[in-house]
């Protein structure tokens, strides 16, 4: 057993139900045998000879022990089957480079890189100075483990991060790979702290130069129940529309993420007009993603704006007239587009408090009919 589960077990933390194993042999063959015994399903990801077995809720990854060579910074590694030692040596941090042999009765942790010591002194430390340049996504991983575990990235490792950043190596990583790291952070309890730290260490600005402002995140520190796109909105909060578009391109954002970014920026830009008529605010908000609105309500520094956005989500957007199209026809409104127009007018009047009962609505319809347009 390697990586996360060994680290977490050594820390007495609950071990996740996705376990990682290294096999110094043919992992796909072993996985096939195991899956048959456990009644699970096997998937082989051929590029790295890695294999996943799914048994109900549990996920087991078995990889063939391998060594890795990075042909150039940020590239995917060239891998070849190798020993357990080589397999541990290809990993990111000492705390993730430990193994527990399962074939022994009284197993002891195999720890060639001082992982246990770094768990004890609460340090995130790389295995070699080229680690971040080989794989710059580790810049985000370092921050993630540091903040998740309440550790410190060691001085030497911080210097290595700076060196990789100064070399511009973050540029070599694809948008999809960076986005995957963001996704992992968004799912963490301390996501806001992680993103703030990644800004502080110039990791986010290296991914995109506009990601320098943590203002939207500051108020979220200590917040543990935000949906993932809340953090995305907090990051987008201080971007200009042009930068938002540029970030979308850099990270190859899928449509739903792109919408949260775009709508968060639209909300910030029009925040000052949210004290106007309810019907006007509602019409504007109807065109935006409710996820972005909910996130913005959480991070806006203006309590009145936040309260109005919450009211929109809980109340205003659900408002509809008591009268139906059929009622309007029966009252003599001509069929066709006029019905829709009158229904919308009733809705506006209801949102703005000009009608509050069905009788009020009927009176307004009569007025509209006698107005004759």
Residues that bind ligand CTP (CB under 6 A): 3-4, 20, 91-92, 96-97, 135, 137-138, 141
Find residue 69's DSSP bridge partners: 78
The least distance separating ligand CTP from the CB of residue 305, rounded to whole angstroms, comes to 36
Residues 327/331/336/340 CA torsion (nearest 10 deg):
-60
C-beta of residue 352 within 8 angstroms of C-beta of residue 278: yes
The least distance separating ligand CTP from the CB of residue 3, rounded to whole angstroms, comes to 3
The least distance separating ligand CTP from the CB of residue 137, rounded to whole angstroms, comes to 5
Residue 73 DSSP one-character state: T
Q: Is the CB of 68 or the CB of 289 nearer to ligand CTP? A: 68
Q: Is the CB of 3 or the CB of 214 nearer to ligand CTP? A: 3
Q: Is the CB of 3 or the CB of 244 nearer to ligand CTP? A: 3
The least distance separating ligand CTP from the CB of residue 41, rounded to whole angstroms, comes to 19
- Which residue's C-beta sits nearest to ligand CTP? 4
Q: Is the CB of 92 or the CB of 263 nearer to ligand CTP? A: 92
End-to-end CA distance of the chain: 76
| Alpha-carbon span 141 to 134, nearest angstrom | 14
Q: Is the CB of 137 or the CB of 264 nearer to ligand CTP? A: 137
The least distance separating ligand CTP from the CB of residue 91, rounded to whole angstroms, comes to 4
DSSP letters for 277-296: -HHHHHHHHHTS-HHHHHHH
The least distance separating ligand CTP from the CB of residue 166, rounded to whole angstroms, comes to 20
52: closest CA among 35, 71, 73? 35
Q: Is the CB of 123 or the CB of 282 nearer to ligand CTP? A: 123
Q: Is the CB of 135 or the CB of 193 nearer to ligand CTP? A: 135
Residue 243 contacts by C-beta under 8 Å, 6 or more apart in sequence? 208, 210
The least distance separating ligand CTP from the CB of residue 172, rounded to whole angstroms, comes to 14
Q: What are phi and psi of 59, to 5 degrees?
A: -130, 130
Q: Is the CB of 17 or the CB of 354 nearer to ligand CTP? A: 17
The least distance separating ligand CTP from the CB of residue 316, rounded to whole angstroms, comes to 40
Q: CA dist 165 to 71, 196, 237, 240, 336, Å?
A: 19, 17, 25, 24, 63
**Residues 297-332, buried b or exposed e (16+ Cβ, 10 A)?**
bbbbeeeebbebbeebeeebeeeebebeeebbeeee
Strands (DSSP E) found in the chain: 18-23, 41-45, 50-55, 58-64, 66-69, 78-81, 123-124, 152-153
Read off the tokens for 241. Answer: 């529309």
C-beta of residue 20 within 8 angstroms of C-beta of residue 2: yes
Q: Is the CB of 4 or the CB of 112 nearer to ligand CTP? A: 4
The least distance separating ligand CTP from the CB of residue 345, rounded to whole angstroms, comes to 54
């Amino acid at each position: 057993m390697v990586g996360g589960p060994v680290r977490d077990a050594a820390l007495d933390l609950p071990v996740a139900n996705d376990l990682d194993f290294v096999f110094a042999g043919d992992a796909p063959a072993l996985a096939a045998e195991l899956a048959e015994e456990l009644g699970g399903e096997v998937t082989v990801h051929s590029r790295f000879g890695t294999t996943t077995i799914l048994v109900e809720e549990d996920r087991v990854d078995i990889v063939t022990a391998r060594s890795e060579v990075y042909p150039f910074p940020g590239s995917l590694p060239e891998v070849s089957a190798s020993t357990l030692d080589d397999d541990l040596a290809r990993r990111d941090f000492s705390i993730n480079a430990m193994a527990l042999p399962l074939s022994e009765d009284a197993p002891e942790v195999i720890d060639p890189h001082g992982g246990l010591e770094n768990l004890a002194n609460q340090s995130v430390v790389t295995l070699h100075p080229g680690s971040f340049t080989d794989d710059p996504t580790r810049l985000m991983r370092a921050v993630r483990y540091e903040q998740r575990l309440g550790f410190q990235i060691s001085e030497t490792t911080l210097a290595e991060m700076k060196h990789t950043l100064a070399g511009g190596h973050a540029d070599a990583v694809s948008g999809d790979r960076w986005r995957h790291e963001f996704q992992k952070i968004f799912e963490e309890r301390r996501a806001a702290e992680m993103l703030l730290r990644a800004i502080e260490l110039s990791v986010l600005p290296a991914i995109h130069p506009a990601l320098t402002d943590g203002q939207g995140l500051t108020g979220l520190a200590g917040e543990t129940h935000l949906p993932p796109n809340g953090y995305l909105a907090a990051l987008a909060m201080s971007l200009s529309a042009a930068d938002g578009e540029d970030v979308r391109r850099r990270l190859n954002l899928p449509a739903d993420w792109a919408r949260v970014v775009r709508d968060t920026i639209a909300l910030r830009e029009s925040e000052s007009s949210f004290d106007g008529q309810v019907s006007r605010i509602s019409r504007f908000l109807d065109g935006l993603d409710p996820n972005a609105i909910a996130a913005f309500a959480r991070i806006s520094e203006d309590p009145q704006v936040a309260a109005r956005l919450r009211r929109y989500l809980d109340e205003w957007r659900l408002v509809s007239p008591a009268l139906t199209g059929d009622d309007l026809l029966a009252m003599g409104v001509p069929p066709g587009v006029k019905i829709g127009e009158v229904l919308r007018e009733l809705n506006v009047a209801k949102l703005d408090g000009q009608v509050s009962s069905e009788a009020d609505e009927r009176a307004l319809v009569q007025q509209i009919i006698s107005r004759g347009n």
